[in-house]
A and B are shown apart, each in its own frame.
Chain A
Amino acid sequence: MGNFLLSRIASLIPILFGTSLVAFFLVRLIPGDPAIALLGLEADEQAIAALRAKLALDQPLVLQYVAWLKQILTGDFGRSIQGGREVFPLLIGALGPTALLSVAALLISLVIAIPAGIVAATRRNSLADYGASFAALCGLSMPSFWLGVLLILTFSIYVPILPASGYVSPLVDPLRFLSFLVLPALTLGAALAAATMRMTRATMLEVLRADYVRTARAKGIPARKVIWRHAFRNAQIPIVTLLGIQMGQLLGGVVITETVFSWPGIGKLTVDAIFARDYPVVQGAVLLTATLFVLINLLTDIIYTLIDPRVSLA
């Protein structure tokens, strides 16, 4: 286990190095540069040239990359070109809201998807199965900007019990935070639940056909116990894999949901930074999300061993 962890964490080094290369050069392939984006239509050529010199954008790309790498290795992510905030606190400040929203959305999706998936699998081809499958199809095909606006209309105009959009830190006002969290978490949870429900149904169907389930049934174990203790435990691995992927994707940012609900997350921050060609922020955000993605995959692997003792990480 210890060796496994060490080797996985060591594998972060080449991954992050590669990511830094891609992040650095890819964002520079987009036409326009931060000086143009910052000064806008109103600036003259002189002002743009002066700002470029100030930001060292007139240096050769390789030198710029080496300078940035040196900075990163000393733990300094630099400052945002747009507005001059320090990049690292900016990223962490946006990652917090995204992480909270992601966890809430995943919880909601699990609460909906696991029971629905199991019911659909155990009563295959019944009305319940069709109903759950239809709901999942709706969840998958409803775009989040539409569902989001629909929820806002319902719960802050027609039945005004929740604020339409916004964010406050849970450390400042936990209850208001929850009131802001409900709608975006539901919006996001709906789409996630659909995928998880389909996965739960498929793996449960497979497991329910397995010999040991038939044996358990033959021994007269109550159906409920067979499903939860014998079948579901073994169906968990693919579900956990899916959850791991979902969580990784969520932490990369959920731009549309964040935009609709004015949720100050990392997705919106990154997309804005790309539009503004705010190189230090884009590079920092890509590095950070890549790191998180690797760590979450690692966590998923560790969870496998807890669910299924046959899986060994040595």
Chain B
Amino acid sequence: MLRRTLLKGLVMSVALVSLMNGTSALAQAGKTLDVAIVSDPVTLDPALMASFFELSVQYNIHEPLLHVTPDLKIEPGLASVTTPDDKTYVLTLKPNLTFHDGTALDAAAVKANFDRMLDPSLASPRRSELGPIDSVEATGPLQVTVKLKTPYAPFLQVLANRAGMMVSPTAVKSLQADFATKAVGAGPYKVVSWTKNSELVLEAFDGYWRGAPAIKRIVFRPIPDETVRLTNLRSGTVQLIDSVPPQTVAQVGRESGLTLSQSPGLGFNAFSLNTTRPPFNDAKVRKAFSMAVNPQIVQRTVYFGTGAVSYGPIPPSIAWAYDKNLQPPRGDAAAAKKLLTEAGKSEPVPVTITVTNSPIQIRTAEIIQAQANQAGFKVDIKQIDPTSLITVLRQKDFDLCMSPWSGRSDPDGNMYNYFTKSGPNNFAGYQSEKVDELLQKARTTAGEEARAPLYREAQAQIAEDAPMLFLTFPATLQASQKALTWLQYPDGAFRLQFAKFN
């Protein structure tokens, strides 16, 4: 009896559910955009955000002072900017701006934001991005003057990115620790609710400076499994997804109901070679290892031809600084072997590759292993979890370790921290006076024409010294249902104020 009742109940609920499912999907169409992202954001506070995947939601809630176009040009955003000299930036805010909570977005609010990010006790990653700031003063009701200690060329790009995102100072004060989950900004959407690991619901902000966005409601759903993310797009449960796995790109591109969007990314997939201990303290051994590896094989077999092969840190998407002539020798086992003999190494040289346990990284490591083994190395692969990776890199407890970078729209963001002598991301322990000077100079020189040759020279020297093995510039791969029009940015972050249903 019990059994029969249970069965009956089950059958009925399945039937009812499928009925309801159809109607609720209809009711929602046109109003709500469901977006599948890779992982739940950690915090909605732009001053504290640190992970790459969080970026995909941030630009919808928060608006930077300046706007960067998909081809990386700076435009006015909340503010326009003038630079009377190379150490002074005058920001002029648009009149009558407010945050989601109605607080005025004026010079005082902007100053409060800078003060907050620069406060050492907040431990904000934005502090180092903002560079050599000397003072921030409100010089008018809508005018803020930022003075730098030394010229800092990437500053405008920095203000158009994470560090330029303004939050409501009133809300920071009143919400305290809850600000991280209830963020109040000045972006196109305001936060309605956020259920951990389930959904982040946003609603159009009518006071947005470009005018209220076309889509009224957005729901971000974290779906970590790449297959399930794609299935949700195919079934229409979501209409836009982040991070399409490279192996499915060709297939998704052929599906009639879907649009695959890809553009060159800003970051790189590379490995740091530990220059502070054997065997890679010898530049010849580093060079031999780099020579042995063929990045084209990695790009073809791991990334299925998406993105681009990389020989240095600056990607083709930063067109003015990209050096297409940079092509150090790669994929030459015989030459690598010869170099090893020159370095006085006759035995197979033992090397350990440290990677996280993600399929892409493991496959990459296996290809490097096979190629380097042919050139006289004996390579082991060690897998660790992503949080241990940071510790391993910082403590230089590795021979060869993955050091991927999400990338920045200014080349300084892809090089300064990695290759200056005391750079926080100089995991290789690379010490080059020449590169240090070049990068300092490139950072303090104004004008793309003047900076480009400096970056070219620095990249050439780095290729010669081989402290890092560059493999690919992964593409930004995202997909949507045909019914949705939206604008893709190279950094992969969604800016859904520009999206609409057809």
Contact = CB atoms under 8 A, between A and B. Distances in A.
Interface string B233-261: 01101000000000000000000000000
B390 A149 contact: no
A275 interface: yes
B125 A153 contact: no
Nearest to B405: A41
Contacts of A50: 120-123
Nearest to B223: A262
A179 interface: yes
A211 interface: no
Contacts of B24: 173, 176
Given A39-B123, A40-B125, A82-B43, A175 B20 contact: yes
Interface string B103-127: 0000000000000000011111101
Contacts of B18: 161-162, 179
A290 to B, nearest CB: 22
A32 B390 contact: yes
Contacts of B222: 262
Contacts of B177: 79, 84
Contacts of A111: 3, 6-7, 10
Interface residues of B, number: 62
B225 A259 contact: yes
B42 interface: yes
A305 B24 CA distance: 46
Contacts of B96: none
Interface stretch (A16-24, A163-171, A234-242): A163-171
A37 interface: yes
A30 interface: yes
Contact of A163 (B40, B237, B388): B237
B449 interface: no
A164 B387 contact: no
A45 B196 CA distance: 29
B235 A93 contact: no
Interface range on chain A: under 10, 10 to 19, 20 to 34, or 35 or more? 35 or more
A94 interface: yes
A179 B17 contact: yes
A70 B123 CA distance: 27
A133 interface: no
A264 B195 contact: yes
Interface in A110-147: 111, 114-115, 145
Given A41-B390, A51-B123, A111-B6, A83 B235 contact: no
A42 B50 contact: yes
A46 to B, nearest CB: 7
Interface in B168-184: 177-181
B36 to A, nearest CB: 8
B21 A162 contact: yes
B224 interface: yes
A115 B6 CA distance: 13
A85 interface: yes
A178 interface: yes
Interface string A78-95: 010011110000100110
A262 B221 contact: yes
B424 A90 contact: no
Contacts of A41: 390, 393, 403, 405, 425
Contacts of A268: 197
Given A36-B394, A175-B20, A262-B228, 9 more contacts: A32-B391, A43-B125, A45-B424, A162-B18, A165-B228, A179-B17, A182-B14, A260-B228, A272-B40
11 contacts: A30-B387, A36-B391, A45-B424, A82-B42, A157-B235, A160-B235, A161-B14, A166-B232, A176-B20, A264-B195, A272-B40
Interface of B: 3, 6-7, 10, 13-14, 16-18, 20-21, 24, 40-43, 48, 50-51, 120-125, 127-128, 177-181, 195-199, 221-225, 227-228, 231-232, 234-235, 237, 385-388, 390-394, 403, 405, 424-425
Q: Which 4 A-B pairs have the closest CB atoms?
A: A161-B18, A40-B50, A264-B197, A264-B198
